[in-house]
Amino acid sequence: MVLKATIFKAGLQIADLDRHYYGDHALTLARHPSENDERMMVRLLAFALHADAALAFTRGLSTADEPDLWQKDLSGAIQTWIELGQPDTRRMRSAAGRAARVLVYSYSGRSADIWWQQVRTAVAGINHLSVRNLPVEAVRDLAGLARRSMQLHCTIQDGQVWVADDRHTVHVPVDNWQG
């Protein structure tokens, strides 16, 4: 028996003072059976950080040759490739060959630190690669906001992010490791 994705609906209001982007989004997130709330909410956070009319969630975990999110131009060329977790060097190089801009968001604490120490020298020469880390405590708190139906407000200012529902506010500092 094949397990199906769990569908989450999110109303997301974004006020990005750094990019001067303000928008309301009605999003549908399909959470893969092997994905947890932390990873799903990091996907949602990555969307908020790079929100654009052309930014879209992909099939993600179920498709090896797609990132978690991407933005394509009208010709179908990939402008932005957003990957979550700890991709290997080969995957990051491949993404850089396919997209004008590649972003990686790591979020798993000590294992992310170890991963970064192992790959940082190998990926230092990829000019359009940005690697960012999210503190594990903030990601856990962010996962606490996950509901099948969510109304979230996201404020971004000076590289700091606050995500709130009607009861809680989570501060998510974004640590820029490269790019």
Report pLDDT for 23: 97
Beta strands in the chain (DSSP E): 6-16, 21-31, 55-57, 69-72, 78-84, 99-106, 129-133, 149-157, 160-164, 169-173, 175-178
pTM: 0.94
Burial of 124 (0-12, 13-18, 19+ CB in 10 A): exposed
Contact (CB, 8 A) for 67 and 81: yes
Q: What pLDDT is attached to residue 141?
A: 98
Q: Residues with Cβ < 8 Å from 75, sequence gap 6 or more?
A: none
Domains, the chain, ordered by start:
6-178 (3.10.640.10)
What per-residue confidence (pLDDT) applies to 61?
Answer: 60
Given this model, what pLDDT does residue 4 score?
85
The label of the residue with tokens 């989570």 reads: 170
C-beta neighbour count of 89 within 10 angstroms: 14
Per-10-residue mean pLDDT for the chain, 179 residues long? 85 97 96 92 98 90 81 96 96 96 95 96 94 97 97 96 97 95
